């Protein structure tokens, strides 16, 4: 009799454990499903803030292209507002740009950007310029941290519904490779990851994913580089950035190792990306001119009204692709 009770109790425990596991699995599956659908809803304005890497725009266009290929009915707008040379720290190295201008600071233009664009979702990628390409310094580090925290407060006050923080891309020093300025960015990225987790911010780690990729390639090909100047990545580097974003937003989306592989044998996808890149280029220059900035040397954008006409015309082309 006692033996039978022990067996029954054991079976009850096993059944209870099974239900707990099933409940946990259902919650996990539900969470992944929600992220796969990435419910921005209709007509959301999605803003990307960053420096020259964001301004270059390939990773933003890749992200939008893959998102729209899965959600063709969405009316969401992706707006690239990256500005070359910009920081959140407000710092600038001596004789920047051969003394032609000091680095612009995001906060000089942020109010205009938020008031005129009024985004619901904001992606943020700073840090590359914030260490000023010098060895680690605690004062500069504090300026970067304070800038990030100040930016978060301003975005929340502006009513932004979703903020996605991104660690700075990897820096590949032409002489020192990953053992130069990248050591500074390692610390900036580590801090942002830790602080974001502590504050329950949404974080996408670009830095260490790119670092791991670069380390592995250098082992096989010692002269391989993601960025010819150590700073500005080419297509592959932008793809590594977009890949991390897409995996974060839509974990089950099938992705290839290179952007070329994602497009191979998919003529409609090539057309979609080409149209989106063209559209983003028109819109980013128009919005930068309209919202204003202190960075000389950029192309002047057309009027926002004219840019919107171009946007809608390209949208009609996109709709004919039949996604």
pLDDT tens sequence for the chain (323 residues)? 444 344 444 444 443 333 333 333 333 333 344 444 455 555 589 999 999 999 999 999 999 999 999 888 888 999 999 999 999 999 999 899 999 999 999 999 999 999 999 999 999 999 999 999 999 999 999 999 999 999 999 999 999 999 999 999 999 988 888 899 999 999 999 999 999 999 999 999 999 999 999 999 999 999 999 999 999 999 999 999 999 999 999 999 999 999 999 999 999 999 999 999 999 999 999 999 999 999 999 999 999 999 999 999 999 999 999 88
pTM, full prediction: 0.88
42-319 maps to which CATH number? 3.40.50.1110
Q: 156: Cβ–Cβ under 8 A, 6 or more apart, which residues?
A: 163
CA–CA separation, 191 and 184 (whole Å): 11
Helices (H), the chain: 2-37, 52-56, 58-70, 110-117, 138-157, 182-199, 207-220, 235-249, 259-263, 267-291, 304-319
Q: What are phi and psi of 73, to 5 degrees?
A: -90, -10
CA 134 vs CA 8, 141, 172, 253: distances in Å: 68, 11, 14, 39
Query: What residue spans define the domains of the chain?
Result: 42-319
């Amino acid at each position: 009799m006692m033996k039978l009770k022990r067996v029954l109790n054991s079976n009850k425990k096993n059944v209870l454990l099974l239900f707990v596991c099933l409940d946990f699995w259902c919650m996990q599956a539900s969470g992944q499903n929600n992220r796969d659908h990435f419910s921005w809803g209709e007509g959301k304005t999605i803003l990307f803030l960053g420096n020259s890497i964001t301004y270059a725009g390939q990773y933003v266009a890749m992200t939008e292209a893959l998102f729209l290929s899965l959600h063709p009915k969405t009316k969401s707008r992706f707006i690239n507002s990256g500005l070359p040379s910009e920081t959140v720290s407000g710092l600038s190295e001596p004789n920047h740009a051969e003394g032609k201008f000091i680095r612009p600071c995001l906060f000089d233009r942020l109010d205009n950007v938020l008031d005129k664009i009024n985004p619901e979702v904001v992606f943020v990628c700073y840090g590359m310029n914030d260490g000023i390409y010098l060895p680690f310094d605690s004062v500069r580090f504090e300026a970067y941290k304070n800038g990030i925290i100040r930016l978060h407060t301003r975005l929340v006050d502006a009513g932004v519904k979703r903020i996605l923080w991104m660690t700075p891309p990897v820096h590949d020093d032409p002489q020192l490779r990953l053992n130069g300025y990248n050591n500074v960015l390692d610390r900036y990225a580590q801090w942002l990851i830790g602080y974001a987790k502590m504050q329950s911010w949404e974080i996408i780690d670009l830095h260490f994913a790119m670092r791991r990729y670069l380390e592995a390639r250098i082992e096989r090909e010692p002269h391989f580089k993601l960025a010819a100047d150590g700073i500005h990545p080419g297509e592959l580097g932008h793809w590594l950035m977009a890949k991390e974003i897409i995996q974060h937003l839509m974990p089950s989306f099938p992705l290839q190792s290179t952007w070329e592989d994602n497009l191979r044998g998919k003529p409609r996808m090539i057309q979609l990306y080409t149209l989106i890149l063209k559209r983003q280029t028109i819109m980013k220059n128009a919005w930068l001119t309209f919202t204003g900035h202190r960075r000389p040397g950029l192309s002047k954008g057309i009027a926002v009204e004219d840019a919107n006409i171009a946007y809608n015309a390209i949208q009609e082309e996109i709709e004919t692709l039949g996604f």
